[in-house]
A = this chain, B = another copy of it.
Amino acid sequence: MQRTGQPTINDVARVAGVSKKTVSRVINRSPLLGGETRARVEAVIAELGYVPNPQARALALRRNFLIGLVHDNPNAQTVMNVQQGMLEALHGTEFEMVVRPIDRGSATMLEDLKHFLERQRPYGVLLMPPVSENDLVARACAEIGCRYVRMGSAMLDAPERMVASNDRDAVRAATAYLIDQGHRRIGLIGGPHGFRSARERRGGFEEALAQGGISLPRSLIADGNYTFESGLVAAERLLDAVPRPTAIFSCNDEMAAGVIHAARQRGLDVPGDLSVVGFDDTPIAAHVWPPLTTVRWPIASMARSATLKLIADPEADGVEEPSLFLSTLIRRASVAAPSD
């Protein structure tokens, strides 16, 4: 009776001489089932090459098997790392990953997201920073009734809906490391306004300076938007300061690469004339010259845990996925003691 060439559950039932409910039980591994019957049905399934239709399943179960990744992150490597972590968590399950970029700048961003959630009704969505830091977005998901987990730089939500890293602590430690090396004039390249990660990282930086009794003049602060180019521009401003900073902490690696670029353009040696520290530990950090000292952000692990939270059976209370991830300092060659 199959029109599309694909065998259906009915075909299996007919050939096996059972009802389709029995076949359904085999598929869903119902415990109460005769071993002999199960074997026969499984043999027919294999023989016919039967594959359950996910659309029909989705309709009958009133839920589908799509996990959305909602993001507006400018960093390709970061997005890929998150996808990697999600796919690890989804591997072997019946879920698929659908990727949904949204435009942070757009006035209709919330509407676009709602539109997506209403039309597609994914089983759940993973919210990546920076859009994950927007409470309105989380609320929109909740209102529509879509499960979500947020990734971020601070616990912005309940543990079962949040996976966070300790950016503030990690940056405080990284900055303390610079101070230990003897640096006193340390510049900061901050992230974009409105990014919680930018706020946390800057906070950690300022705390470390305060602990070290070091002042932070306005001339040693510049903001970027996490892109290489913005790091370049910000570094140019910082390097014009008199006296020049002997070290710069950049709130992500991309911008730190821009800092190194800017230093080289004006003939400064890194780390001889300028120490640089980044954040993220994306591949670019190891690939610039000199290799960049940076904070490793375990974004793929976070995405993996977040996804497992998302698809976890709310009933079955197995092992809880962690909600807090530690970022650690990776020491490479871009930091040295100041030369003066």
Contact = CB atoms under 8 A, between A and B. Distances in A.
Interface of A: 3-5, 51-56, 58-59, 62, 64, 66, 76-77, 79-81, 83-84, 87, 94, 96-101, 118-121, 145, 228, 257-258, 260-261, 264, 283-284, 286-289
Nearest to A115: B51
Q: Name the residue among A3, A286, A287, A289 with the largest chain B CB count within 10 angstroms.
A: A287
A121 B287 contact: no
A228 B5 contact: no
Nearest to A51: B118
A189 to B, nearest CB: 16
Contacts of A287: 228, 257-258, 261, 284
A99 B99 CA distance: 7
Contact of A260 (B5, B53, B54, B289): B289
Contacts of A52: 119
Q: Name the residue among A97, A286, A289 with the largest chain B CB count within 10 angstroms.
A: A289
A59 B55 contact: yes
A211 B298 CA distance: 50
Contact of A83 (B54, B99, B257): B99
Contacts of A258: 287
B101 A98 contact: no
Contacts of A120: 54, 96
Given A51-B118, A119-B51, A289-B264, A97 B98 contact: yes
A246 to B, nearest CB: 21
Closest 6 CB pairs of A and B: A76-B80, A55-B58, A51-B118, A55-B59, A76-B77, A96-B98
Contacts of A76: 76-77, 79-81, 283
